[in-house]
Structure 1
Amino acid sequence: MADVYKILILLGAVVAGGAVLGEVGSQFSVQNVSNIDPGRYHALGLFNNDHPSRKRLAVRKCTSFNFIFPLKIFSTEEPYFCPAVFISPESLLTSALCLRMLQRPDEHPSSHMFAMVDREEVFFYEHGRRYVSKIFVHPKFEEEPAYYNVAVVKLRNAVYDRDALGRSQVACLWAENRLKNPQAVLGEWFEFQPEQNPSFRWLDLPLITRKECSAELAKLKRPVPELNQGVQDFQLCVRESRTNSSLTRFCDPRSSGPLLTTLGSTVYVVGMPTVHIDECGVEVEVFNRVSHYLDWIETVVWPGQE
């Protein structure tokens, strides 16, 4: 596992086009792009001054200089993992559907569930593990699983949220429905083999409209029960990259993490996965907007704060 996550990917910007950002072993920085097209990016401070939600708690908690680790939640009882992202030093955002596979009804999560990345400055002890303290599942998850497929996981001990350069390992929460970047960044695990760690990579993918997404889903030969209400306005869709025919396709066995975007030197989480679509004639993946759940997320992550 350590080999897969040895080198941290620094997500500071998004390259235009549908290219693969790179394997975990490569490094990616905002400097790669801002020196080429500085007009495309602007400071977070200017963004916040004009931000209609600038007084929101999630916006005030945002650290403008951050970078993201590939992060997984494991169980000592099951052979699965759930992709996640830090949204505070002690809170992770992840998939409620995935956690259901890990969590047994008769066991407390702290007895067998933990989060892990391979970085000593983040996870100080026990070989990089941070054990789960509590799980909060969205209250509407039971009624409409895919449309409310989101959970907040609290850790028993917080991580060190800054490195020696002052950069935060915590993603900011995007507070608007409208995005300011036409591209999104998706971390995915693929090439699952028995007794082996899956491969990981960051993908730079184009966002498409709700109409385009619905047209693509209309190609399904079998309906997806979890998306029986179609694509809603609180959802986002990305299209498969068409620049490299050797890419793992969306329909192949794979596991998506949260959907990210960048503004200046800041990484934001904008979407959470809904459900895996395994028909290879369909080239989209559907995510739920984080902004749609933001009131609930703020209440869980920062209780009692306004």
Structure 2
Amino acid sequence: MVDNTKVVPLTRFLEEQPLNKDAPLVRAALLDWEDKSTDVVDVVCPGMFSPVPDKSIKYSAELMAQFIFGSAAYQIANPSEKGKLMPAQLAGMKSMLKAYRSIIALEPNARISRFDELSKDEEQGNLPQVVEPLVVANCKSPADASTGGLPPWHFQMTPQEVASFSDYGPYDKFRNGDLETYSGLFNGHKENVQFYFEDGKLARIEISLYEGQDVKAAAKAWGQTYTVLKTQYGNLELHGIQINPSDDTPSPDVIAVASGAAVQAGGKVQLAPLKQPMDKFVFASFSSSTVQGDVFYYVEVFYDPPHG
């Protein structure tokens, strides 16, 4: 498990040894940490690290992830700089370029001409002057930056950009162009993650934590979901069940049993953080449907762009 004390050294490890056999596990652990952390503001601005993400470019996903880690590590090392766009973007760029140079030292054929140019700018001391207009052009306002999602994926990504993270594939494509993978990370575990697009841009992420016909198993998954979201976001509001008013802090087991009974009776139970994170709107749902006479139960967590 990653905590704040490990973020900087692990980021440096990936800069120096991006192709190490343990690197994929380290990336997964850092991404899981970042999804839960409230100590960094993760801002991904389209165009900053072009031409990645692009699955036709070798190590595209690793390089983009390194940009995110570099920005986060800078904010951990410099808490007063949390959320400051320019220094965080510059730190992300520097970290990505370090990893890029480590990659091409081992695989010269993985060169990316733009990254060679940026590396030259950094060598000459000109990288801040190069990055600043990129930030101005690509991060004009919070609405122009993709700051929410489930790392490494962010709202406003195209289907091609989502699928470029091959470490979390393979991806299946629905008839309407939406995507899913069974290798997305949520709370440190691989889960079925689905991606919904509007006008070709990522507009919703769904994490499917249970789908089946066992209501007890579904209720157990719901209780675990309650625990995870309460740990991440604090107090939650529940809709669809009645809890004893004298029970100020019902246990996950009580939530699970009451919710399972409500859903089995045909209802739907939902929960959401009382205080939503700034970069996304989070809610979860426990529901059922009847398919050709068989009842199926579903436990899902949804990430939407911030409301309002």
TM over 0.5: no
Structure number with higher relative contact order (C-alpha < 8 Å, ≥ 6 residues apart)? 1
Higher helix share: 2
| Higher Rg of the two aligned structures | 2
